[in-house]
Structures are given as structure tokens and as C-alpha cells.
């Protein structure tokens, strides 16, 4: 590496009250290279990148971009300078078209009211889109395209300016393999044009395939500073992140018992073909499907989370109305939704209040919440999932993405009378240690006779945990594959086009 | 230097867990005590508390609704209707019957609001605003447009003018309201449910919480506070008045906002209600003592609302003082 770094951060520190998010972090990004930023949940990765674009202000340390020290005041300033951040949280306007989103951004970047009349032409928009490999009509509404495609639109927005630094904070957490590949193609071509890319992910396969260099944060400190990724084995990376290796627990699944939860003649829409499925006690059923296949919808329906057109839901022989979460949860159906922020989190409430939201019945007596009972019930789970920081009185919004996910898992693992666990993307955004813990917790629940429905876009996860895999295509279950099915067969079952 | 001062101030505040508006109230008290003649006398203190008591009781109800992410305007006319119903019922059923009827009217309006908002998913802003107007019309119709005097009696004026152990009854009612609100919000299951539903109704539903029931009970509880205030207010004016306290909903929202309760839902504490009410009451009182025109009163309250909301929003050095970095047990 002879070229000077494009962006340098040194000695970065940041405190939030008593919590120390970053102590002494450094980072150097080089043009034309993909730099992976790794670290366990709460290590400070997102905080660090938010500092680059001026969303968070450092307490100490310096940031230089090119030759000059910089301190952007807003994201817009950073974007104008050629630093494009893509968050997991998308910032597009869903009710507007792709074109309107692209030109709104171009307009915003110029801050010139008169520029609004000179909106982006369709041709220009199409050119931007195709430069990120997205062949979509610019007049399509953003809400009609998938999350992966939205991310590409976000990147395309940034391409109006010269993109010197591209920041991707867990962009692939919600993407399918296909979409991830597409994103990587764009990243590689940007790189070839000299863009410096910062890539945050908890998925090692992706890091292997895209990253050139790696920086690792632990406890707010940089412990590996820009080493070539090939110079480290996966074991060494994990050790540097966690301070220890992750022991993979036993993946031995319990023998399933009798059918515990059953959907009969389930139609999500009036015109859909009916679905019949059952899960046995102690059985883990994987539900796999591409984005838009309906896998997540089927899982939500079984948890009583969404109303359906018709059908019967039975738990241990009792009929439960669809779309009635209260009754479902009383019958012991836990549900981890796929959209953490909209459907799961109470951002302004404490971590403990978030975790105990489904246990209020059992931790209350005579209308009073007993805080001792609350912490007795939830704290062991939070400990086990390694909530970091383990300060249960802090608001959930102040926790890192992966730690917020742990709160949702704890809420459901501690559900009173848990009999059925419906989990959607249970390990989205969590680090490998927490992923292992969550997997073990799911297997343990099954050992205790809980019926588990696991919907995930992470095929490794599905393969590792499922007794059998149901493949969902176009809103129905197209195939059932046994445990141990080869990856190739699974992938082709997912992607197979229907004849009609 | 300032950073250090702010950090120390925050630590002090986090330890005693007082809302930032508490310090504003203290500062205001000190300011008025030094500059306004006769402000810091026990007679005046009682006067301030007595005037503030009705606002305080109703603001406790408003706080619950705000925590739920809603808003309640119908207080303004429901106290008026209650006063008229009370006065109309007293001759036949006695003072107790009259007050009970008045309170029942307010509770009924609360039930209606709660049912419309929870059952039919209507926006609270519209429902309670509509209710405010409809009930005002009903009150005016019932009274024939003019105040109706109540037959004067010792019992009738007791809620407003009575004393227990030397303490005015309205002040006791206000203290009991704030105390109840504190206990309910901090310790009770329904209080926790209000926070959860207010913080994210969809997440609450998916967690298995009965969102509709929770919202309904919130509006009902709010109307219970308002019913108590209606009794005191009717007793004080000694008559049924079609336009008894038209500004009540706005004053209660102002008190909560000044106290630091965000309108976004999921947050709010009893101590914030108390501080907000006291700030408004002290300012009103100071304006009167200084013989300023009443218009100044509105001007000052308006400025304080805007100022306090600005403080809560700003991320500047004062803003970090205002926002609690460590909310003890969440919403309390
Ligand atoms: N607004 C805030 N208030 C208090 N603490 C915060 C705030 N934002 C972040 N933190 C703390 O800073 C630390 C670092 O958080 P950050 O989001 O950077 O982690 P991360 O490395 O991105 O983790 P993840 O992999 O889970 O996304 C965490 O301990 C978090 O609790
Ligand atoms: Mg993060």
C-alpha cells in the first residue's frame, strides 16, 4: 500500500453518560480497497462510522479526509464531499418514485431552491440506476421494490456526486444471497474506480469474499489496525473480536413428539391456495424463501400476528383466532418479528421493560409489577445472551443493533408457558458469539418440547437448526426437504421458477 | 469547563432523579422571591397552591393520555357539563347526588372517548376535539345559555373551601392526584402497559398486550381525574356554567409540556406534571402580584412552553442537561 490513506481516524473517543462507546479507535481507508470493520455487538462500529459523516460528534481524536482535518456538521455535507453512508435503516421516501427520490437528493445536495425545477431527467436516473446494476423503471414507487433494491437506489443517489468513500453499515443483514451478490458487484466496480469502501458485517463468508483489509474494534479500541484480510485466519479474527474463540455447541436435535401447532386451510389472501402445515413438539421447522416469497407472512400468520383470509389455527387441539396476538401469546406462542424497529422495540423504554413486555402477567401481583420477579425472570437470559452493556435501566434506543435484537429474543425465550416459538430472522445483526447462543437457546427450547418455526434468509442458520425445511414460493409451500439436504439442492429449490 | 459543569450537574440530577423542570421551578421560585413583593409569604403560597390545584388534578389525567401517545381536549367542556348536571340534580337528590351525577357525566365522556379511540382507531386529536365541541353544545343547550345558581349550602362549598387539618381540600385533592399518578405510573401493571403502548403500539400488540383495552383504560383514568376536578370547580363557582373552564385542556397540555413530557408518547412522570403545574402557577401569581395586565400572563406562559420544548429538542449544552441520560426505570 503505497498510496496515502484517503480517510484517517486516530485516537477517537466517545462517552455516553457512564457508557464508553469508544476509547481509542483508529481507522485508515485507502482508495480502491474494501475495508472490513469488525467487532462484537456494541464494540462501537456504528458509532465510529456515524462520526465520519457528522451524525455523532467525537469527544476526542481527529478525522482527516484527503489532506485536511474534517468535522462534517451534517450528513449532507459529508455526501457533498463524496462520502456516502448506507445504513441498514433506509432513508428513502417509500411513497415516492425512484426518480423522485433520486432528484430529491440531488436537490438536497445543492441546497438551491431553483434547482428543484431542474429535476433529474429520466435518462439520467436510468443511467445512475444501471451503474449500480439496478434495471428498474425510475417511475416505480420505492415501496414496491425490495429492501436490497432500495439499498441500490440509496447508493445510486450518492453517485450523483463523485463517490470517494462508500460506507456500508451491515448492508447485507436484510438481503438475500442474490441481492448481496448484486451489491458486491457494484461495490467491486466502484472500488475499481478508486472508491474507498468501509464494510461492516457479522457474516464471515461475505467478509472473505469482498474485503481486502480489516480493522477490528474491541471494547471501543482498535485491536487490529488495517491488516490485510488474508494475513489472518478466521479463528484469529474471532479471537481478536471477542478475546476468545467461539465454541460451537452441539447441534444435536431432539426427537420430535406429537403435532403441537397446526394450520389448516390457511389462506393468506382470498385467492391464495390453502396451506396445511403442522409442527411437532420439540421440532424445529425451517421456513425458507426468497424475498417476497411469502415465507415471513406464513410465519407471522402462524404466530397470530396477522389477520388472514381463512383457515384454522390449532395449538394442542385448541382453536386460536388468526390475527389475535393476545390470545396466541396467552397460549404460549412466542413471536420475534422481522422488523426490529417497527414491530419489536420500545425505543424510549428501558432494556428491562423491553425484555419483560410479554411477561407482565407473571411478574405482576395484584396489579403491581414486582421488579424483583421481573429481574429474576429476565436477567438470566440477558446475561446469557451477553447484553452489552448489561445495564438494564438504559433505554433500548441506546443499545447497538445486535443488542436490541438480544432484547427481543430474551422477551420471547422468557415467555410464560412457551410452547411454540415463531422466530423471523432471529440472528439478524448479532455477532457470532450471540448467534451461537441464540442457536443453542432455540435448540434447548426444542429439547423442552417447544415447537419452533424458524423463518430466515440465512441458509446456514436454517440448515444448522431445522429438522426439516419447508420451501416457500409464491405464497405456498412448494417443497419439503429433510435435514442434511445439500446446499445446492436447497438453493435451486428456492429459485426454481414455476412452470405457469 | 462547561462540559465538566454539565457532567456534574447531570450526575447530581441523575442521582436524585428529578426532572429538569424541577430546577426551572426552583430557579423561578428564587427569582420571584427576590423580585416580587409578597411572593414568598405563606399566605401567598397557599393561594398559589389553591389556584394550581384544579389544573394539577386534570393535568394528571392529561399526562396519562400523553404517555399513551394521545391527547385529550374534551376536559374543557366536560367540566362545564358536569357543573350544570350537578346543579340540576342537587335540588332533587341532594349535594352528594349532584356531585356524583356530575362526576358520572365526566366519566361517561371518558368512556366515549376511549371507546371511539381504542375501538375504531380514530385519531385522539379529532375525537376529543369533536367531543369538546359536542359537549359544549350540549352544556349550553341544557343550561339555556346562562349560568344556573346552585342553592347555597355548607356541603356544596366544602370541596372548594373546606379544610382538613387546616389544609384546603383542593390542595389535598391535588396532592392525592399526583401521589396516585406516581404510584400508578411507577409501580402498577396498567402504568407499565400505558408506557409500552405509548412507546410503540405495534410492538405492544405483537408482544401480546391488549392494546385497545389499555388505551380505553387510559382515557377512563384520565376522565376520573377530570371528574374530581369538576366537583371542586363546580363547588368553587357555586353554579352550573356552560363555559366554565374553556382553556383547561390547553393549560393541562402546557403544564405537561413545560414539565418535560414529550407529546410523542411512552414517556412522562408524575414529578414532571407537578413541576409543570407549579411553574405555570407561580408565573400567573407573579403577574398578578406585579399588577401586570393579564395578557402578560398568556404571553409568558406561551414563551415558557416554547422555551421548554426548544430546550428538550436542542442538543446543545442545555439540552443535554434537560434530557435524562439515565431514566431510572424508564418512564418514571
Ligand atoms: N445514544 C446513545 N446513548 C448511550 N449509549 C449509546 C448510544 N449510542 C451508542 N451507545 C453505546 O455505544 C456502544 C457502541 O454502540 P455501536 O452501535 O457503535 O455498536 P456496534 O459495534 O455498531 O454494534 P452492533 O454490531 O450491534 O451494531 C454500545 O455500548 C452502545 O450501548
Ligand atoms: Mg451497529
What's the pLDDT tens digit per position in A91-111?
788 888 888 888 776 655 555
pLDDT tens digits for range A106-164: 655 555 545 444 567 888 888 888 877 788 888 888 888 877 788 788 877 766 667 88
Mean pLDDT of A21-30: 93
ipTM score of complex: 0.87
Distance from the CA of A19 to the center of ligand 1, in angstroms? 9
Mean pLDDT of A75-91: 79
- Decide if pLDDT at A90 tops 70: no
pLDDT value, residue B318? 39
Which residue in the set B187, B325, B326 is minimally distant from A369, CB to CB?
B187
Query: Which residues does chain B have within 8 Å of residue A364's beta carbon, measured at their own beta carbons?
Result: 189
CA distances to A124, A500, B26, B40, B297 from B34, rounded to whole Å, are 68, 86, 12, 8, 19
Mean pLDDT of A405-424: 95
B206/A353 CB distance under 8 A:
no
Answer whether A28 contacts ligand 1 (Cβ < 6 A): no
For every residue of A268-307, DSSP letters joined together read SSTTSPPEEEEEETT-EEEEE--TTSSHHHHHHHHTT-S-
For every residue of B208-267, DSSP letters joined together read T--HHHHHHHHHHHHHHHHHHHHHHHHHHHTEE-TTS-TTHHHHHHHHHHHHT--TTSS-
Answer whether A21 contacts ligand 1 (Cβ < 6 A): yes
User: Which residue puts its alpha carbon closest to atom 3 of ligand 1?
Assistant: A398
What pTM, to 2 d.p., does this model score?
A: 0.89
pLDDT tens digits for range A238-279: 999 988 777 777 788 889 999 999 999 999 888 888 999 999
Among the bound ligands, name the one nearest to the CA of residue A394: 1
pLDDT value, residue A2? 66
- Decide if pLDDT at A338 tops 80: yes
pLDDT value, residue B9? 66
Query: Which residues does chain A have within 8 Å of residue B268's beta carbon, measured at their own beta carbons?
Result: none
Among the bound ligands, name the one nearest to the CA of residue A431: 1
User: Which residue puts its alpha carbon closest to atom 29 of ligand 1?
Assistant: A42
Distance from the CA of B221 to the center of ligand 1, in angstroms? 38
pLDDT value, residue A342? 87
Among the bound ligands, name the one nearest to the CA of residue A40: 1
| Per-domain boundaries in chain B | 44-246
CA dihedral A486, A490, A496, A498 (to 10 degrees): 120
Q: Which stretches of chain B score pLDDT less than 70?
A: 1-3, 5-6, 8-17, 312-332
pLDDT value, residue A161? 64
Mean pLDDT of A173-179: 75
pLDDT tens digits for range A441-465: 999 999 999 999 999 988 889 999 9
Which residue in the set A16, A345, A369 is minimally distant from B189, CB to CB?
A369
CB proximity under 8 Å: B 177-196 to A = 187-190, 192-193, 195-196
CA distances to A57, B229, B265 from B63, rounded to whole Å, are 34, 15, 10
Which residue in the set B189, B193, B206 is minimally distant from A325, CB to CB?
B206
> Which site among A18, A329, A344, A395 would you substitute to test the B interface, given the most B Cβ atoms closer than 10 Å to its Cβ?
A395
User: Which residue puts its alpha carbon closest to atom 5 of ligand 1?
Assistant: A398
Q: What is the distance, to the nearest Å, from the Cα of residue A478 to the centroid of all Cα atoms in its chain? A: 26
Amino acid at each position: 500500500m503505497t498510496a496515502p490513506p484517503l480517510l484517517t481516524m486516530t485516537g477517537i473517543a466517545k462517552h455516553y453518560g457512564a457508557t464508553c462507546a469508544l476509547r481509542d479507535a483508529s481507522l485508515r481507508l485507502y482508495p480502491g480497497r474494501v475495508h472490513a470493520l469488525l467487532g462484537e455487538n456494541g464494540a462501537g462500529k456504528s458509532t465510529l462510522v456515524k462520526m465520519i459523516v457528522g451524525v455523532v460528534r467525537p469527544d476526542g481524536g481527529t478525522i482527516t479526509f484527503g489532506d485536511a482535518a474534517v468535522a462534517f456538521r451534517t450528513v449532507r455535507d459529508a455526501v457533498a464531499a463524496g462520502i456516502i453512508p448506507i445504513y441498514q435503516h433506509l432513508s428513502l421516501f417509500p411513497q415516492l418514485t425512484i426518480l423522485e427520490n433520486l432528484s430529491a437528493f440531488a436537490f438536497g445536495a445543492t441546497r438551491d431552491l431553483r434547482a428543484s425545477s431542474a429535476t433529474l431527467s429520466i435518462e439520467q436516473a436510468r443511467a445512475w440506476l444501471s451503474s449500480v446494476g439496478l434495471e428498474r423503471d425510475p417511475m416505480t414507487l420505492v415501496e414496491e421494490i425490495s429492501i436490497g433494491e432500495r439499498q441500490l437506489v440509496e447508493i445510486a443517489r450518492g453517485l450523483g456526486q463523485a463517490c470517494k468513500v462508500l460506507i456500508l453499515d451491515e448492508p447485507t443483514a436484510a438481503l438475500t444471497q442474490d441481492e448481496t451478490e448484486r451489491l458486491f458487484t457494484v461495490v467491486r466496480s466502484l472500488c475499481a474506480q478508486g472508491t474507498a469502501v468501509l464494510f461492516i458485517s457479522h457474516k464471515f463468508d461475505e467478509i472473505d469474499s469482498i474485503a481486502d483489509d480489516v480493522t477490528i474494534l474491541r471494547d471501543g479500541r482498535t485491536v487490529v489496525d488495517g491488516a490485510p484480510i488474508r494475513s489472518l485466519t478466521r479463528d484469529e479474527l474471532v479471537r481478536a473480536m471477542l478475546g476468545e474463540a467461539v465454541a460451537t455447541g452441539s447441534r444435536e436435535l431432539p426427537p420430535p413428539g406429537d403435532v403441537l401447532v397446526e394450520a389448516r386451510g390457511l389462506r393468506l389472501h382470498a385467492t391464495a391456495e390453502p396451506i396445511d402445515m403442522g409442527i411437532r413438539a420439540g421440532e424445529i421447522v425451517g421456513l425458507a424463501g426468497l424475498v417476497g416469497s411469502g415465507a415471513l407472512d406464513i410465519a407471522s400468520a402462524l404466530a397470530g400476528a396477522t389477520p388472514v383470509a381463512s383457515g384454522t389455527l390449532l395449538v394442542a387441539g385448541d382453536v386460536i383466532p388468526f390475527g389475535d396476538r393476545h390470545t396466541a401469546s396467552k397460549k404460549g406462542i412466542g413471536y420475534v418479528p422481522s422488523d426490529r424497529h417497527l414491530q419489536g422495540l420500545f425505543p424510549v423504554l428501558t432494556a428491562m421493560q423491553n425484555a419483560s413486555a410479554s411477561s407482565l402477567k407473571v411478574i405482576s401481583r395484584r396489579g403491581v409489577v414486582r421488579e424483583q420477579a421481573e429481574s429474576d425472570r429476565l436477567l438470566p437470559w440477558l446475561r446469557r445472551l451477553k447484553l452489552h452493556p448489561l445495564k438494564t435501566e438504559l433505554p433500548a434506543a441506546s443499545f447497538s443493533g445486535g443488542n436490541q435484537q438480544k432484547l427481543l429474543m430474551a422477551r420471547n425465550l422468557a415467555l410464560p408457558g412457551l410452547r411454540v416459538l415463531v422466530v423471523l430472522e432471529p440472528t439478524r445483526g448479532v455477532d457470532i458469539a450471540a448467534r451461537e447462543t441464540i442457536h443453542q437457546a432455540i435448540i434447548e427450547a426444542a429439547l423442552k418440547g417447544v415447537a419452533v418455526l424458524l423463518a430466515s434468509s440465512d441458509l446456514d442458520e436454517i440448515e444448522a437448526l431445522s429438522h426439516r425445511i419447508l420451501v416457500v414460493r409464491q405464497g405456498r409451500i412448494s417443497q419439503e426437504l429433510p435435514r442434511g439436504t445439500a446446499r445446492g439442492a436447497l438453493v435451486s429449490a428456492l429459485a426454481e421458477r414455476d412452470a405457469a | 469547563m462547561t462540559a465538566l459543569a454539565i457532567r456534574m450537574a447531570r450526575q447530581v440530577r441523575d442521582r436524585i432523579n428529578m426532572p429538569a423542570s424541577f430546577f426551572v421551578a426552583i430557579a423561578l421560585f428564587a427569582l420571584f422571591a427576590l423580585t416580587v413583593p409578597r411572593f414568598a409569604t405563606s399566605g401567598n403560597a397557599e393561594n398559589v397552591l389553591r389556584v394550581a390545584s384544579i389544573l394539577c388534578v386534570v393535568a394528571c389525567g392529561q399526562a396519562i393520555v400523553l404517555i399513551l401517545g394521545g391527547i385529550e381536549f374534551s376536559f374543557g367542556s366536560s367540566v362545564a357539563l358536569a357543573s350544570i348536571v350537578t346543579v340540576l340534580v342537587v335540588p332533587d337528590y341532594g349535594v352528594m347526588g349532584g356531585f356524583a351525577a356530575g362526576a358520572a357525566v365526566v366519566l361517561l365522556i371518558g368512556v366515549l372517548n376511549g371507546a371511539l379511540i381504542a375501538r375504531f382507531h380514530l385519531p385522539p386529536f379529532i375525537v376529543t376535539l369533536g367531543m369538546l365541541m359536542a359537549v359544549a353544545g350540549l352544556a349550553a343547550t341544557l343550561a339555556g345559555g346562562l349560568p344556573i345558581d346552585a342553592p347555597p349550602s355548607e356541603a356544596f362549598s366544602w370541596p372548594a373551601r373546606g379544610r382538613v387539618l387546616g389544609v384546603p381540600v383542593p390542595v389535598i385533592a391535588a396532592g392525592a392526584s399526583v401521589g396516585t399518578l406516581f404510584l400508578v405510573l411507577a409501580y402498577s401493571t396498567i402504568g407499565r402497559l400505558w408506557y409500552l403502548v405509548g412507546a410503540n403500539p405495534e410492538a405492544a400488540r405483537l408482544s401480546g398486550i391488549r392494546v385497545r383495552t389499555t388505551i380505553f383504560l387510559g382515557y377512563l383514568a384520565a376522565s376520573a381525574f377530570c371528574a374530581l376536578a369538576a366537583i371542586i370547580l363546580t363547588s368553587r363557582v357555586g353554579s352550573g356554567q356552560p363555559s366554565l373552564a374553556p382553556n383547561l385542556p390547553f393549560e393541562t397540555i402546557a403544564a405537561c409540556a413545560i414539565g418535560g413530557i414529550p407529546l410523542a408518547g411512552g414517556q412522562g412522570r408524575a414529578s414532571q406534571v407537578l413541576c409543570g403545574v407549579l411553574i405555570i402557577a407561580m408565573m400567573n401569581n407573579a403577574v398578578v402580584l406585579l399588577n401586570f395586565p393579564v395578557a402578560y400572563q398568556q404571553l409568558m406562559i406561551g414563551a415558557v412552553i416554547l422555551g421548554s420544548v426548544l430546550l428538550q429538542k436542542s442538543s446543545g449544552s442545555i439540552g443535554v442537561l434537560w434530557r435524562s441520560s439515565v431514566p431510572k426505570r424508564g418512564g418514571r
